[in-house]
């Protein structure tokens, strides 16, 4: 008889980033259903669903409750970095696993987290390279005032400045703020080669709408002349942005609905069958979907859901995901993913402009990154330069 | 261009800590950061100069496991510390570590300690370098004062003009004012000639005009 394994699903399906969180939770439901229908598995998942409503304290309380009182070993969830940082101590204390399924700014590798979303070498580095090559090296940066925007702007600045370019202005808005008019005036004055947008949610939609109005008045700021680029823009958000303004938006992402593959066609068909024909999947829903499937595969392999055994079985494992082959890196528990760049269309989809030839090793600390040669992909072990070693290594004298 | 993103790729770390779960975690995390590691325990009597950073166990005693004579402040030291007993903290501080990581170690905090320790070490070295220069200047101040006095007497000048003459002469000889003052006092007959030359060069000018003060402010 199939035994039930409780897993936590922790998504803020109400609150300021609920559009994204609902798409993420959908990815989890889809994968749980797939696992539970899999006849080769002698277990099934019983999801414990919590909505922390974007409140940090709720995140921590929910994790304490699940890990301490319900003895849950695995929780899939969190979207923002602040919520992830808030709950990691709980997972370390109870030695349980958090499956973090979203792109983020990197510079972390907890032993109690598996990261299935994109690392900075998957999102901001390929985007910077592409924008510099195709549009120029003067960027205008606007972002929501928290770590995601700060860190991405810093990486972008380093790449641009190392290549003779600059960030002409760097502006931050409070999360949820729609105060974007002064930015438009500033952009009109500065005439950047492109905009890098790290706004989230409502602020992003308001900003893109305001740029669209500028474009209607002055075609010199059109999407081909001064495109808006973004590392977190996904299909569900194009609904909020509208068809006109969606055209020409450039998004850096490891997943787009428009990927042509058998796995992706099946993923989208299942997604629509579950959530309606109008429902659209996103990179984050795919990352959640991947996380649940990898978890199930590891539990099947070791025959237990104990966190330690599952982690050991997860490192180095792989699945054929909608985006292509995904492998969990043995060193840092992030995933090999396939960077892509998409251009927004008016039908809530992206045309794929660039696609990495193969999955790229995650580099959360940008150890193998060189701002002067952003083209060099050094994340792949085979092309890594030899570590600097002294010719005559002195002996330690006892 | 200075990098905005700290990168320790290819750096070598010496870890003076017993082989246990903490040192294993430290090695794994440093490897992720591109750092080469060497774990040595017990601590050696001499430490090779090949390392960019040293991590050391601060819990073992009775004094610090790092002999102070081995540590010249040239590279960052990071203490690995579990206890908060005052005696251990005192031993830890005796070698001036530039960062500390708490036991039991977690992956989080190690990158931060590296960034922190490199910064503090660089800052401290900058201060030490300036201190050496300043101490030397203070030591030689009395000779500068003596030289000014002898120029004031010899040419009947006020202190500002005497200082300016001394400074001009040292500049024309291309040596620091303190060093010139020293030679002036040790052999006035020989070196006063240079001051004579400066005084006669400037004899047509009013020595107390503001331009002189302006000039020596630049020094």
Predicted confidence (pLDDT) per residue in B122-162, tens digit = 999 999 999 999 999 899 899 999 999 999 998 899 999 99
pLDDT of residue B211: 43
Q: Could you write out the DSSP letters of every residue in B127-175?
A: HHHHHHHHHHHHHHHHHHHHHHHHHHHHHT--HHHHHHHHHHHHHHTTS
The answer to whether residue A1 scores a pLDDT higher than 90 is no
Token pair of A396 as six digits: 């330690």
pLDDT of residue B216: 41
Determine the distance in angstroms separating the CA of B100 from the nearest CA of chain A, rounded to an integer: 19
The answer to whether residue A398 scores a pLDDT higher than 60 is no
B147 lies in the same domain as B102 = no
Contacts of A393 in chain B (CB under 8 A): 50
Contact B49 A107 (CB under 8 A): no
B29 lies in the same domain as B96 = yes
Q: What is the pLDDT of residues A262-314, one digit of tens each?
A: 999 999 999 999 999 999 999 999 999 999 999 999 999 999 999 999 999 99
Task: Quote the radius of gyration of chain A (alpha carbons, Å).
Answer: 21
Q: Is residue B126 part of a domain?
A: no
ipTM: 0.78
Q: Could you write out the DSSP letters of every residue in A88-122?
A: HHHHHHHT-EEEE-S--------TTEEE-S--TTT
- Choose from A367, A369, A370 for mutation: most chain B CBs within 10 A: A367
Query: What does DSSP assign to residue A67?
Result: I
What is the average per-residue pLDDT within B106-110? 95
B145 lies in the same domain as B196 = yes
Q: Is residue B4 part of a domain?
A: no
B81 lies in the same domain as B140 = no
pLDDT of residue A202: 87
Number of domains composing chain B = 2
Q: Is residue B38 part of a domain?
A: yes
Q: Is residue B144 part of a domain?
A: yes
- Choose from B1, B2, B4, B26 for mutation: most chain A CBs within 10 A: B4
B98 lies in the same domain as B153 = no
Contact A111 B31 (CB under 8 A): no
The answer to whether residue A236 scores a pLDDT higher than 80 is yes
Instruction: Give the domain range for residue B162.
Output: 136-218
CATH of the domain at B40: 3.40.50.2300
Contacts of A371 in chain B (CB under 8 A): 3, 5
Q: Which member of B8, B9, B44 has the closest CB to residue A397? A: B44
Q: Is residue B32 part of a domain?
A: yes
Contact B7 A155 (CB under 8 A): no
Q: Which residue has the higher pLDDT, B168 or A26?
A: A26
Contact B36 A88 (CB under 8 A): no
- Asked if the C-beta of B29 comes within 8 angstroms of chain A's C-beta atoms, the answer is yes
Contact A387 B5 (CB under 8 A): no
Point out the domain boundary residue: B108, B128, B155.
B108
Instruction: Say if CB A97 and CB A91 are below 8 A apart.
Output: yes
Range in A24-28, A254-258, A310-314, B139-143 with the lowest mean pLDDT: B139-143
- Asked if the C-beta of B7 comes within 8 angstroms of chain A's C-beta atoms, the answer is yes
B153 lies in the same domain as B99 = no
The answer to whether residue B18 scores a pLDDT higher than 80 is yes
Point out the domain boundary residue: B88, B108, B128.
B108
Residues 6 or more apart whose CB falls under 8 angstroms from that of B124 comprise B73, B96, B98
Q: What is the pLDDT of residues B27-72, one digit of tens each?
A: 999 999 999 999 999 998 888 889 999 999 999 877 788 876 666 7
Say how far apart CA B218 and CA B206 lie, in whole Å.
19
Structure confidence at residue A374 as a pLDDT band (50, 70, 90): low
Strand (E) positions, B36-147? 36-39, 53-57, 77-81, 99-102
What is the average per-residue pLDDT within A380-397? 44
B34 lies in the same domain as B81 = yes
B101 lies in the same domain as B184 = no
Burial readout A100-125 (b: 16 or more C-beta within 10 A, e: otherwise): bbbbbbbbbbbbbbbbbbbbbbbbbb
What is the average per-residue pLDDT within A91-99? 97
B21 lies in the same domain as B63 = yes
Kindly report the backbone phi and psi dihedral angles of residue B215, in degrees, each rounded to the nearest multiple of 5, phi listed first. -65, -45
Sheet holding B99-102, edge to edge: B36-39, B12-16, B53-57, B77-81, B99-102
Q: Which member of A154, A332, A393 has the closest CB to residue B32? A: A332
Q: Which residue has the higher pLDDT, A73 or A1?
A: A73
Residue A9 three-state SS: strand
Contact B111 A107 (CB under 8 A): yes
Contacts of B10 in chain A (CB under 8 A): 387-388
The answer to whether residue A397 scores a pLDDT higher than 50 is no
Token pair of A116 as six digits: 């299935």
Q: Is residue B1 part of a domain?
A: no
Q: What is the pLDDT of residues B175-185, one digit of tens each?
A: 889 888 988 88
Token pair of A35 as six digits: 């696992």
Q: Which member of A110, A366, A396 has the closest CB to residue B5? A: A366
Q: Which residue has the higher pLDDT, A394 or A321?
A: A321
Instruction: Say if CB A264 and CB A322 are below 8 A apart.
Output: yes
Q: Is residue B140 part of a domain?
A: yes
Range in A111-125, A256-270, A322-336, B87-101 with the lowest mean pLDDT: B87-101
Nearest residue on chain B to A108, judged by CA atoms?
B108
Q: Which of B110, B93, B99 is nearest to B23 (CA)?
A: B110
Q: Which of A139, A98, A326, A347 is nearest to A231 (CA)?
A: A139
Q: What is the pLDDT of residues B190-219, one digit of tens each?
A: 778 778 877 777 664 545 443 444 444 433
B91 lies in the same domain as B170 = no
Category of A191 on φ-ψ map: left (φ > 0), alpha (ψ -120 to 50) or beta: left
Say how far apart CA A235 and CA A280 lie, in whole Å.
6
Q: Is residue B128 part of a domain?
A: no
pTM summary value: 0.84
B23 lies in the same domain as B102 = yes
Structure confidence at residue A183 as a pLDDT band (50, 70, 90): very high
Strand partners, B101: B80
Give the helix/strand (H/E) hosting B190. helix B188-201
B101 lies in the same domain as B140 = no
Contacts of B47 in chain A (CB under 8 A): 396
């Amino acid at each position: 008889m199939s035994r039930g394994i409780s897993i936590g699903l922790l998504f803020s399906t109400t609150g300021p980033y609920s559009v994204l969180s609902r798409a993420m939770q959908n990815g989890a439901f889809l994968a749980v259903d797939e696992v539970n229908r899999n006849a080769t598995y002698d277990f099934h998942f019983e999801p414990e669903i919590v909505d922390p409503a974007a409140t940090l304290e709720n995140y921590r309380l929910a994790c304490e409750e699940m890990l301490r009182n319900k003895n849950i070993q695995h929780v899939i969830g969190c979207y923002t970095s602040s919520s992830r940082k808030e709950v990691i101590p709980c997972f370390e204390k109870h030695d349980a696993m958090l499956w973090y399924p979203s792109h983020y700014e990197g510079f972390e590798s907890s032993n109690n987290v598996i990261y299935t979303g994109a690392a900075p070498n998957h999102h901001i580095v390929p985007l910077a390279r592409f924008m510099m090559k195709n549009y120029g090296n003067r960027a205008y940066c606007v972002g929501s005032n928290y770590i995601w925007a700060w860190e991405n702007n810093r990486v972008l600045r380093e790449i641009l400045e190392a290549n003779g370019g600059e960030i002409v202005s760097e502006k931050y808005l409070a999360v949820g703020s729609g105060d974007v008019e002064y930015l438009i005036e500033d952009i009109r004055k500065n005439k950047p080669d492109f905009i890098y947008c790290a706004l989230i949610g409502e602020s992003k939609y308001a900003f893109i709408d305001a740029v669209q109005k500028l474009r209607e008045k002055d075609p010199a700021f059109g999407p081909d002349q001064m495109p808006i680029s973004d590392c977190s823009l996904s299909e569900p958000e194009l609904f909020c942005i509208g068809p006109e303004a969606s055209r020409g938006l450039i998004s850096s992402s490891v997943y787009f609905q428009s990927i042509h593959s058998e796995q992706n066609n099946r993923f989208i068909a299942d997604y629509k069958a579950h959530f309606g024909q109008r429902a659209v999947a996103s990179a984050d829903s795919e990352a959640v979907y991947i996380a649940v499937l990898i978890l199930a595969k590891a539990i099947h392999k070791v025959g237990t859901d104990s966190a330690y055994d599952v982690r050991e079985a997860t490192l180095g494992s792989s699945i054929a995901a909608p985006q292509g082959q995904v492998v969990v890196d043995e060193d840092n528990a992030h995933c090999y993913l396939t960077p892509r760049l998409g251009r927004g269309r008016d039908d809530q989809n992206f045309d794929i402009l660039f696609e990495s030839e193969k999955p790229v090793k995650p580099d959360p600390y940008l150890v193998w990154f060189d701002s002067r040669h952003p083209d060099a992909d050094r994340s792949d072990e085979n092309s890594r330069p030899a570590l600097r070693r002294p010719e005559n290594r002195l002996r330690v004298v006892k | 261009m200075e990098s905005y993103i700290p990168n320790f790729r290819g750096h070598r770390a010496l870890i003076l800590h017993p082989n246990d779960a903490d040192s294993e975690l430290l090695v794994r995390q440093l490897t992720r950061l591109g750092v080469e590691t060497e774990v040595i325990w017990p601590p050696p009597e001499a430490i090779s100069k090949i390392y960019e950073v040293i991590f050391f166990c601060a819990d073992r005693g009775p004094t610090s496991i790092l002999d102070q004579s081995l540590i010249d402040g040239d590279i960052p030291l990071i203490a690995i510390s579990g206890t908060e007993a005052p005696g251990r903290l005192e031993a830890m501080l005796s070698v001036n570590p530039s960062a500390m990581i708490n036991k039991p170690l977690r992956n989080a905090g190690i990158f931060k300690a590296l960034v922190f320790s490199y910064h503090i070490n660089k800052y401290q070295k900058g201060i030490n370098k300036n201190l050496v220069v300043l101490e030397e200047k203070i030591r030689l101040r009395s000779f500068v004062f003596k030289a000014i006095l002898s120029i004031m007497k010899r040419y009947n000048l006020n202190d500002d003009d005497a200082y300016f003459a001394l400074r001009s002469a040292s500049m024309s000889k291309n040596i620091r004012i303190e060093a010139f003052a020293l030679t002036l006092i040790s052999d006035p007959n020989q070196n006063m000639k240079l001051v004579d030359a400066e005084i006669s060069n400037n004899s047509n000018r009013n020595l107390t005009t503001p331009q002189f003060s302006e000039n020596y402010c630049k020094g």
